[in-house]
Structure 1
Amino acid sequence: MSTVQKRIRNFGGMLPLAAVALMSTWFAPASYAQLNENCVVSVLNRTVQVKSDGSWVLPNVPAGFGRVKARATCVNNGVTTFGESPFFVIPANGSIDVPSVTLGNATPIPVGLAISSNRSTITQQNGTAQLTVIANFGNGTTRNVTAGATGTTYNASNPAIATVSQDGLVTAKASGTVLLQAINEGTPAFLTIDIALTSDSDNDGIPDDAEINLGLDPRNAADASLDFDTDGLTNVEEFRAGTGLRNADTDGDGLNDGQEVKTTRTNPLVADTDGDGIPDGVEVRSNSNPLDRSSVNYAAAVQSIAITPPSFTLIVNTIVGTAYTQLNVRATLIDGTTQVNLTSTALGTRYASSDLTTCNFGSPDGRVFAGNPGNCTITVTAAGRPIQIQGSVRNFTPLPVSNLAFPGFPNKVKVQGNYAYIAAGASGLQIANITDKTAPSIAGSLALPGNANDVEIVGNIAYIAGGNSGLHIIDVSNPAAPILRGTAATSGPAQGVVVRNNTAFVAAGSQLTIVNVSNPGAPLVAANTSIAGNGKAITLDTNRSLAIVTLGAGGIQIFNVANPASPQAVSTRNLPGGDSRGAKVSGNYLFLADYGLSLTSIDITNPANPVVL
């Protein structure tokens, strides 16, 4: 399975799919053995070379284009083959498992759509009109793609006026003008239909009920010819276009409605008519074509560029072995509000290093890897503007100071003051005196039922996740003579524990167990809730009342624990090829100790959609 990570930017407009630009990074695992380094994979207008192991990373895929396919082209031994995945939808600010690409026959991609209706006006409540959508292909052929099964997606600008089914059947709900959108593999087409459910007493072209809703007089024809917002459209023209009578720029794209309807021929209800992420007004000002998503003049459209991080230091150590940082190139457009991500080289951005032996580049675009120790200057040229940032690479080699033999297996260790507290498996709790780092010694121990899997220290209390024996609470005021104060049964084997404000959160197999430990001698289970897998370890984001449970090969699961008596699952994030064992939160980032993927960083700014970095 592959996953997609997203960051969303809404540019306004009345058709959400056409008005959203989503910057995505796609990952496909090596299990797709059909693909190799002789293949390229494309999604919409983004293309990337496949690696030799069959994996691929495709950054900056625009979203909001309905159902799409991932398409592959391979050239092996002079023979070209094509393939495609089934249809899938890129969700706004979400994640998706991308279907596998199967090599064989591939369907063509439309270069244009023509949309029509058997009725231009509907005059009855719940009356219907059937849309017809014809796709035009590059070889001159056409095909009827009206049915949703062909990949066409429909949207209505105002469902209160009319709705549209997955197969293009429009149903009238109230008087007005509705803009309908059909989109097939990223190619859009638009059509307006008038809904007139009541009579027009003054014969001004606006039905009576619509006049009332719009604040007009249904007995005065003169108000239809007025232009309330002085945008170049009369009120009746605004009604027919579906635009606001009192808003000169209905979609907020920088062009007034009259200019869009009469001059640029752009959609006055959609800020970005061609869906390229650049508002129509910016395209006009920068001399690109707002009706062609392949026409973008970033050099003229961009006002300023910011690169993050603005500088960096990469530390290579013998434990991790590699170090890198991800550069993000974000541009603010000349409208002063719209931002676009220009990190991808597919958008014309280029990266150069003053010393490739110190700082070099890899996939995805913008990722800088550490080489030899030293300094480097990275030059990022985006929208024709070179920007330099400084980087440095340092080596760090940890050296052993001493070691200490003790019984059992060291599952987890926590240090407080001059003591190290060790969850030692079948040997319970082991406490080491580390005052002299060169000569540590065993200070005390406590045999415990079960298996000591994790340890948490709060003040003079140690909390042990004791496997099938549950949560042990131990007084360590005297490290030489720890005392078991109490035990709380858990619904599954306790494997991870974290404690905040007299509440213990325990990853207990298939259950998250929350325990009130305000009285160490009599802990009370406050709640149990199901975990989507086998909970291994747990950490907290105390600022946002989140508990994050690692699930081994199952990834992570995030819970809202603002009410400890009623925890709520927020999201689950799979990590293909991973085996997450430990976790820590810093700010809006989660860092995983992953047996399969090593150190893994996840952006949890939006807990409902964690993003692997």
Structure 2
Amino acid sequence: MMWKMVTLLVGLSALAQINEQCVITAGGKPVHVTADGFYDLRAVPAGAPVRLYARCTDASGVVRYGRTEFLQPEAGQLLENLAFSFSASPFPRASALIVAADRTAYTIGKDDPGQLSVTATHASAADLDVADGVGVTYTSSNPAVVSVSATGLIEAIAEGTAVIGVAYDGLRGAITVAVNESGNQATTVEGLVRFADGSPVLGAEVSAGGESGTTDASGQFSFQPLLLESGPLRIAAVKRTDVQYFATSAVIDAVLGGITDGGLLVLSTPRQVDTDGDGILDDYELTLSLPKPPFQFDLNNPDTDGNGILDGAEDDDEDGLPDFYELLIGTSMIQRDSDHPDNSISDGDEDFDSDGLTNLQEFENNSNPYLPDTDGDGVTDLDEVNAGFDPADATSHPKRVGYGRAVSFRRTN
């Protein structure tokens, strides 16, 4: 994310202690030294200090362990005659980096800079604080927002967020840093989303504090960091499927400056309540108003924007499908082509069930855009529409010839 990965070529003289009996690594996959003293290390972070480690076994089976000082490799660079220090036992080597900040959010213009702590954990030795040590480097994904010094000092420059990357001894770590002008405090919100039967929800859209994200396969979600002025926080989760829409929301007490437990959000089908009669159920209006605009609805106003068109009848993306219908079938109300750049066909012109009727025609005929035979009467929606019958009524269908025998249908309406 922060560093380019390069190939490091190393050539050695005949007098070097490294030979074809050695295996070399720099944090990635070990490589063998060739008979002429060369080895080729791939996926080495360019621009970040790195050590090389060696394990050499002689003909009698005696093992020696080697380590270089920190190197600063460049892409395509050929290094020769590197000096290794050797030992009869393995050198302690960090297995992970733990990166932490001294506060959850930084304020522009604050006199004292922040300080990162970086701990290198070892399986066979004591953990080591390397924040301002030799071999550690820092980068900022957004230097216009946050700058970081060679010793891990943080300076807040502008409002926003930045990811601070840390590299040490072939390992990489990162932490997200938030900056705000008002001194708002940050919180990390974590929680779970499940269906009513207790099963986890994958891909649920969760919104809180103006931010949004999706759940993983276990139904977990996390927002880090959220900048808040006060404790109460409304959080909402929605899940769209081909034929259903599930939603829920709750107000929780945020732990400013710490971790907020978002709890368990249980999804259910929306309540059939439409207070303002605009064609959009209250649960939709409530959950869709939480993310950033343009999703802003008033539960008690059927025409939120005052343009003379009911909220549900609006067609914000001009794909021919009204907003309330797009909510029902799971397409976007603000993108003409929800699956762009997959096929560049507008949602209204799509034919999701490949029955010959576009989604717009399915809407106009009250049929299901995901079922080629909405009413299950054995006659496709297209055939029923072309013959003037109702594709959503199983008792209304044209006469048709079956395979190998005559089958008679009669219109009953």
Q: Would you say same fold, with TM above 0.5?
A: no
Which structure ranks higher in relative contact order (CA pairs < 8 Å, sequence separation ≥ 6)? 2
Structure that is richer in strand per residue? 1
TM (normalized to structure 2)? 0.43
